[in-house]
Structure 1
Amino acid sequence: MDILLIAGLWLDASAWDDVVPELTALGHRPVPITLPGQGDGAASATLDDQLAAVLAAVDASPGKPLVVGHSAAATLAWLAADARPGNVAGVAMIGGFPAADGRAYADFFAVEDGVMPFPGWAPFEGADSADLDAATRDRIAAHAVPVPEAVARGVVRLTDERRLGVPVVLVCPEFTPAEAQKWIAAGESPDLARVADLRYVDLDSGHWPMASRPRELARVLAEAAGS
């Protein structure tokens, strides 16, 4: 099965470099997606541009792919399910929840000169980054790509209720499945509360398991594709 890999904020497609060979060895075809504005130098990219890149990968797949979104890109993966509900086998969300219709995509940090730069590690101290050694932190920070303002502040539009029938696997890295269930029950993710087939998978890692636990993450995604 094709497994489309969408990295979160500040990451380009190389974020999946350690996951790709593991998924290939497990019999799948991993497809890391280069997002406009995050790896191609297009600082003027919009959220619609990024979604178009994801949908192009969905449309190019010979079968129904599993669409994987990390962190904020959980929303991009969900937007793909909304736009192509009959052409997506499932969605896996790693450490993130989809933004609700009408909300900003990822307006989390300060925008400077039209982009949202990586804010450094201070906001992610604790469970998010505890499993990253100094060298890995330095590598991620050195390769971080400022996210265009029109992506971060782009408005999410969900239009097709059939997306709720697409199976979702919520991979829980820096938080537990029990915590995720509590947050969803409290209303923090209205769509996930209505998904017909929602499964939780615990993964002992921080927020960036593609860097710290690539083999374990690949196995989780392969199991999600197989199911």
Structure 2
Amino acid sequence: MIQWLADNAARVAQLAGLHATLALAATVIGLLLAVVVGSLVARRPRISGVLLTASGVLFTIPSLTLFIFIPLIIGTQILDPQNIVIALTVYTFALLFGGVIEALHSVPEETMQASAAMGMGPVRRLFQIELPMAIPVIAANLRVAAVSNVSLVSVGALIGVGGLGDLFTEGFQRSYLVPIVWGIIFTVVLALLVDLVVVVLERLATPWVRAGEAR
């Protein structure tokens, strides 16, 4: 097994880089969309209710179905990596949108009233009060979405763009276990690293939480 990895190190590194790029791009774009849309509709129950239902439906669509149909919808080649990014962005948005709404609704009403009494407008209150207080809830959902994306990128190997998933298809086609094992190992390691990055970023963005833990 070690010899196979040594002989294929450059290729595995390239696949891992592509895998990480696809997963992180979809995670970041999906997060931004969920936060922006969620912030706009959180105080509008009718609109947010409809979007919550729609996001729930989107999340039930099998990933392979999206990978195949997105090129037909937007007119790209099926082997274009952006198809994977778009599909996983849909999943990320669907997973995070409800969490953003929930997080913004969890901000205590007395805090909202106090900020209004201090003369804060809606935009300033959103960025200085609501979103900072919502970070822990959003980050918890983001960890799930980020790790899921690392896993789902592998499915893209079935259409020729799968990062480390290519090792799985190669192993199955050749009935050779070694690349499959290494594919699993590196996918798990990548998922753990991505999860660690989210945890670190959350802690950096919420210094008041660390201060409370230190007491």
Look at both structures and tell me which one has the larger radius of gyration over its CA atoms.
Answer: 2
Report TM bin, short chain.
Answer: under 0.3
Greater per-residue helix proportion: 2
Which has the larger share of strand? Answer: 1
State the TM-score, normalizing by the size of structure 2. 0.24
TM-score, structure 1 normalization: 0.23
